[in-house]
Structure 1
Amino acid sequence: MAPDTEVWKQVFQELIQEVKPWHRWTLTPDKGLLPNVLKPGWMQYQQWAFARFQCSSCSRSWASAQVQVLFHMHWSEEKARGQVKMRVFAQRCKKCSQPLFEVPEFTQENISRILNNLVFRILKKCYREGFKSMEEIPMIKEISLEGPHDSDNCEACLQGFCARRGLGPAMSLPTSWIPRANTTCQVEREVEICPSSEHFCSYTPRNHTNISISCCFLLVIVVVVVIVVKTVGALKT
């Protein structure tokens, strides 16, 4: 979890106490937490959120909209006590030769949204409360991101738990993160923060659609010419 662990704990306590003031819940970080690897009686909740990273070696910064936040929950009705274990998967710098995995930095607003969604899920799974159709509160993306996810430097992907790659037992992504039809490589574009200014440096993948159309058109012309030549030759004989 990020260095602001106390912020997560404080916000969680404020939210859970609003709905269950007589029950005791705790939130603790657990770096060994894995998706769908649950102890008996525990339940799971996953979210994909927007966050920023900074390399501790070269100070390079980047943003990602696919930061996996994993929760395992356990509720004891007899003791009126609940536990939540949390893990935030890290990412590493793609430009350093031996980069370290860096923890993400979330805005206060997105921390509140993530934990609000967690409390909704606790009410639904642990207390059988809430509406079945209750939707998640979407994360705030400070900048527009598109393009391929950097799976080679994503901790969740490397461990086989990143849903974008379709590997491992990871759950499916929320609808809001699924790319629209007829789009190519527009899941996430890494945006780097230029060290010399406050502007963003970005890379947009090339679009090969026009090249493909031109090739198809030329192929059709060649086929038509061949047919015409064969037809004229047949008529002369």
Structure 2
Amino acid sequence: MNLLTNIDMETLWHMEFDNLFKTFFNVWYLSPLVSDLPPVGLWFETKDSAKVRYLCQKCGQGWTSMKGCVYFWYTLNISQNVGILYFKLMGQTCQKCNDNRFEHPLWYPEEVIKVLRNIYYKVGQTFYGFVRPNFEKQRRPGKPRSQHAKNLCQACQMGFCSNSSSKENVPNSKTDTVQTVLVVRIANRNTES
């Protein structure tokens, strides 16, 4: 099966990111977004999907998703010569336990490499003049046994899932590019006196 443990997965994400993003003349940093809230400020955002595996930490049940979602936010501060790429690996709730806990996905190495190459090309298109990058959509083979359960999907609940219609920037399956949306988020400031 060749799934990655959390430690191996983190190492692979950073190694592949470093290998790709070192070709840009700006310094780029990769960081998981821990919060459920998107970063504040001027960010581009996009998403990708992959075949992933989940394992319930409570009951031990495992399941596969052909549409495991990773969401990216990225920006480039030209004056400081620094780019930041945040990512969030979306979880799923165990159908058996159904206790509103999201299990973290286990990724296959080739799926990690695929989504990092895709975001590399998207960043290259946005900031470095890449023309019509080749986005890889192929996933590891698999046959889903059931329909997508939106009530168990963290990405659906946050409006990020490609099976969810609540987000305007869902990639169109008829196009060959992953859509990117530029968003500006302003922090709420309490003006207590």
TM range (shorter): 0.7 to 0.9
Amino acid at match of 1:88: L
Q: In structure 1, the residue corresponding to 2:67 is in which secondary structure?
A: strand
**CA-atom RMSD in angstroms:** 2.3
Match of 2:140 in 1: 141
Q: Which amino acid aligns with 2:84?
A: Q
In the alignment, does 2:17 pair up with 1:15? no
Q: Against the structure 1 CA distance between its residues 31 and 139, is the aligned structure 2 distance closer, same or farther, given a 3 Å change threshold?
A: farther
1:222-233 to structure 2, matched below 5 A, reads none
Distance in 1, matches of 2:160 and 2:27, equals 31
Amino acid at match of 1:121: K
Structure 2 residue aligned with 1:98: 99
Q: Which runs of 5+ in 1 are unaligned?
A: 178-237
Name the TM-score, length of structure 1 as normaliser. 0.64
**Is the CA contact (8 Å cut-off) linking 1:161 and 1:170 kept in structure 2?**
no
Please say if residues 15 and 116 of structure 1, whose CA atoms lie closer than 8 Å, have aligned partners that are also in contact: yes
Partner of 1:175: 173
1:99 deviation in Å? 5.7
C-alpha change, 1:97 and 1:91, in structure 2 (3 Å) is closer
Whole-angstrom CA distance in 2 between matches of 1:66 and 1:176: 17
**Contact preservation (8 Å) 1:75, 1:83:** yes
Once the two structures are superposed, the pairs formed by residues 154-169 of structure 1 within 5 Å of their partners are 154-167=153-166, 169=167
The structure with the largest strand share of the pair is 2
Q: Which has more radius of gyration?
A: 1
Question: How does 1:1-237 map onto structure 2 within 5 Å?
Answer: 3=6, 4-17=9-22, 19-20=23-24, 22-34=25-37, 39-98=40-99, 100-127=101-128, 129-132=129-132, 134-145=133-144, 147-167=146-166, 169-175=167-173
Q: State how far apart, in whole Å, the 2-side matches of 1:5 and 1:138 are.
A: 22
User: Residues of 2 paired with 1:142 and 1:39: CA distance?
Assistant: 37
* Rounded Cα–Cα distance in structure 2 between residues aligned with 1:122 and 1:106: 22
2:54–2:104 Cα contact (<8 Å) kept: yes
Relative distance call for 1:25 and 1:57 in structure 2 (3 A) is same
Instruction: Supply the distance in 2 between the matched residues of 1:39 and 1:77 (Cα, whole angstroms).
Output: 18
Q: How high is the TM-score relative to the length of structure 2? A: 0.77
Q: Distance in 2 between matches of 1:50 and 1:137?
A: 13
Deviation of residue 33 (structure 1)?
A: 4.9
Residue deviations 1:113-134 (CA, integer Å, cap 9, x gap): 100001001111122x2123x3
Which residue type is aligned with residue 43 of structure 1?
Answer: F
* TM-aligned CA deviation for residue 148 of structure 1: 1.9
> Where does structure 1 differ by over 4 angstroms across 4 or more consecutive aligned residues?
none
* Separation in structure 2 between the aligned mates of residue 52 and residue 111 of structure 1, nearest angstrom: 13
Which one has more relative contact order, counting CA pairs under 8 Å at least 6 apart? 2
| Counterpart secondary structure, 2:42 | coil
Q: How many residues align?
A: 169
Percent identical residues: 21
